[in-house]
Chains A and B, each alone.
Chain A
Amino acid sequence: MVSKIGLIDLLYAAPLLILLLFAIAPITIKVLRGNREPNANFLTALSVVGLVGVGFLAYMLTPESPVLVFGGSIAFDRLSALTSAVILFLSAATVIVLNSHVHTAKNQLSEMLFLLISCTLGSLVLVAANDLITIFIGLELMSLPLYLMVAMSNEQKLSKEASFKYFILGSFATGLFLYGMSFIFGTIGAVDLPTIGEQAGKLVDSNRLFLVGLVFLVIGFCFKVSLFPLHAWAPDVYTGAATPMTAFMSTAVKIASFVAFLRFAATQATAGSTDLINALMWISALTMFVGNAGAIVQTNFKRLLAYSSVAHSGYIFMGLLVVMVSTDHSQMGASATLFYLVGYSLMTFGAFALVSLLETKEGAPVNVDDLAGYAKKQPMLAACLSLFLLSLAGIPPLVGFFGKFFLFSAALAEGFYWLVLMGVVNSVISVYFYLRPIVVMYMQSSEKELNTQSLVSVRSLVMICFALVIAFGVFSTPLLRLTKIAVLGAF
Chain B
Amino acid sequence: MPILSVLIFLPLLFILILSFLPEGKVLRFSVFGFSLMHFVYSLYLLVAFDKSTADLQFAEIQHWVPDFGIKYFVAVDGLSIWLVLLTTFLCPLVVLATWTSVTERLKLFYGSIFALQSAMLGTFLAFDAILFYTFFELGLVPMYMLIGIWGGKRRLYATMKFFIYTMAGSVLMLMGIIYMMLLCSEQLGQISSNLLDFYRLNIPFVGGTFLNSQTLLFFAFGIAFAIKVPMIPFHTWLPDAHVEAPTAGSVILAGVMLKMGTYGFLRFSLPLFPDASSYWAWVVLFLGVLGIVYGALVAMVQPDMKKLVAYSSVSHMGYIVVGLFSLNAQGVTGGIYQMLNHGISTGALFLLVGMIYDRTHSREIAKYGGLASRMPLFTILFFIATFSSIAVPLTNGFIGEFLILIGLYKAAPAFAYVAVLGVVLGAVYMLWMCKKVFFGKESELVGDTSHPLLDLNPRELSLMAPLVILIFWMGIFPGHFLQYTEASVNHLIKSQQNYELNVKAVSNGK
A and B part of one assembly? yes
Q: Is there a chain A Cβ closer than 8 Å to B155's Cβ?
A: yes
Within B313-336, the residues touching A (CB, 8 Å) are: none
Within A395-445, the residues touching B (CB, 8 Å) are: 395-397, 401-402, 405-406, 408-409, 412-413, 420-421, 424-425, 427-428, 431-432, 435, 439, 442-443
Question: Is B175 a contact of A428 with CB atoms below 8 Å?
Answer: no
Known: A409-B178, A428-B167. A443 touches B65 (CB 8 A): no
Contact with A along B166-203 (1 / 0, CB 8 A): 01100110110011011000000000000000000000
Question: Is A402 a contact of B65 with CB atoms below 8 Å?
Answer: yes
Residues on A with beta carbons closer than 8 Å to the beta carbon of B178: 405, 408-409, 412, 420
Known: A412-B179, A480-B65. A443 touches B156 (CB 8 A): yes
A427 to B174, CA, bound (A): 11
CB B120 to nearest CB in A, in angstroms, measures 15
A390 to B142, CA, bound (A): 12
Give the bracket for the number of chain A residues in contact with chain B.
20 to 34
Within A455-482, the residues touching B (CB, 8 Å) are: 476-477, 480-481
Q: Is there a chain A Cβ closer than 8 Å to B407's Cβ?
A: no
Question: Is B156 a contact of A432 with CB atoms below 8 Å?
Answer: no
Q: Interface residues of A: mostly helix, strand, loop or mixed?
A: helix
Question: Is A424 a contact of B138 with CB atoms below 8 Å?
Answer: no
Known: A412-B179, A424-B174. A395 touches B137 (CB 8 A): yes
Residues on A with beta carbons closer than 8 Å to the beta carbon of B473: none
A203 to B196, CA, bound (A): 49
A402 to B65, CA, bound (A): 10
Question: Is A431 a contact of B175 with CB atoms below 8 Å?
Answer: no
Residues on A with beta carbons closer than 8 Å to the beta carbon of B149: 442-443
A484 to B67, CA, bound (A): 10
Residues on A with beta carbons closer than 8 Å to the beta carbon of B134: 396-397, 401
Q: A426 — nearest CB in chain B belongs to which residue?
A: B171
Residues on A with beta carbons closer than 8 Å to the beta carbon of B400: none
Q: B186 — nearest CB in chain A belongs to which residue?
A: A413
Residues on B with beta carbons closer than 8 Å to the beta carbon of A390: 141
Cβ-defined partner of B130 (8 Å) among A405, A425, A439, A477: A405
Residues on B with beta carbons closer than 8 Å to the beta carbon of A484: 67
Q: B155 — nearest CB in chain A belongs to which residue?
A: A443
Question: Is B182 a contact of A405 with CB atoms below 8 Å?
Answer: no
Known: A439-B156, A476-B65. A427 touches B148 (CB 8 A): no
Within A366-417, the residues touching B (CB, 8 Å) are: 390, 395-397, 401-402, 405-406, 408-409, 412-413
Question: Is B148 a contact of A443 with CB atoms below 8 Å?
Answer: yes
Q: B151 — nearest CB in chain A belongs to which residue?
A: A443
Q: Is there a chain A Cβ closer than 8 Å to B133's Cβ?
A: yes
CB A79 to nearest CB in B, in angstroms, measures 18
Q: A477 — nearest CB in chain B belongs to which residue?
A: B65
Contact with A along B137-162 (1 / 0, CB 8 A): 11011001100110000011001100
Question: Is B67 a contact of A428 with CB atoms below 8 Å?
Answer: no
A420 to B63, CA, bound (A): 26
Q: A406 — nearest CB in chain B belongs to which residue?
A: B68
Cβ-defined partner of A420 (8 Å) among B64, B66, B167, B175: B175
Question: Is A424 a contact of B175 with CB atoms below 8 Å?
Answer: yes
Cβ-defined partner of B66 (8 Å) among A401, A425, A443, A477: A477
Question: Is B175 a contact of A421 with CB atoms below 8 Å?
Answer: yes
Contact with B along A187-214 (1 / 0, CB 8 A): 0000000000000000000000000000
CB A469 to nearest CB in B, in angstroms, measures 14
Contact with A along B40-81 (1 / 0, CB 8 A): 000000000000000000000001111110000000000000
CB A481 to nearest CB in B, in angstroms, measures 7
CB A70 to nearest CB in B, in angstroms, measures 35
Question: Is B175 a contact of A477 with CB atoms below 8 Å?
Answer: no
Q: B147 — nearest CB in chain A belongs to which residue?
A: A443
Residues on B with beta carbons closer than 8 Å to the beta carbon of A424: 171-172, 174-175
Residues on A with beta carbons closer than 8 Å to the beta carbon of B26: none
Q: A408 — nearest CB in chain B belongs to which residue?
A: B178
Q: Is there a chain A Cβ closer than 8 Å to B164's Cβ?
A: yes
Question: Is A435 a contact of B160 with CB atoms below 8 Å?
Answer: yes
Residues on A with beta carbons closer than 8 Å to the beta carbon of B179: 412
A405 to B181, CA, bound (A): 12
A108 to B506, CA, bound (A): 64
Residues on B with beta carbons closer than 8 Å to the beta carbon of A397: 134, 138
A432 to B64, CA, bound (A): 30
Known: A395-B138, A412-B178, A443-B155. A431 touches B67 (CB 8 A): no
A428 to B145, CA, bound (A): 18
CB B166 to nearest CB in A, in angstroms, measures 10
Q: A386 — nearest CB in chain B belongs to which residue?
A: B141
Question: Is A409 a contact of B138 with CB atoms below 8 Å?
Answer: no
Residues on B with beta carbons closer than 8 Å to the beta carbon of A409: 68, 178, 181-182
Known: A396-B137, A405-B178, A443-B148. A428 touches B130 (CB 8 A): no
Q: B156 — nearest CB in chain A belongs to which residue?
A: A439
Residues on B with beta carbons closer than 8 Å to the beta carbon of A402: 65
Q: A484 — nearest CB in chain B belongs to which residue?
A: B67
Residues on A with beta carbons closer than 8 Å to the beta carbon of B108: 442
Residues on B with beta carbons closer than 8 Å to the beta carbon of A435: 144, 160, 163
Question: Is A413 a contact of B65 with CB atoms below 8 Å?
Answer: no
Known: A405-B130, A484-B67. A442 touches B145 (CB 8 A): yes
A412 to B179, CA, bound (A): 7
Contact with B along A46-58 (1 / 0, CB 8 A): 0000000000000
In the complex, the 10 A-B pairs of residues with the closest C-beta atoms, listed nearest first? A396-B134, A424-B171, A443-B148, A428-B168, A397-B134, A409-B178, A412-B178, A396-B137, A431-B167, A443-B149
Q: A397-B134, A412-B178 are in contact. List 16 more A-B contacts (CB 8 A).
A: A395-B138, A396-B138, A397-B138, A405-B130, A409-B68, A412-B179, A421-B175, A424-B175, A439-B148, A439-B156, A439-B159, A442-B145, A442-B148, A442-B149, A477-B67, A480-B65
9 A–B contact pairs at CB < 8 A? A396-B130, A396-B138, A401-B134, A409-B181, A428-B168, A431-B167, A439-B156, A442-B145, A443-B148
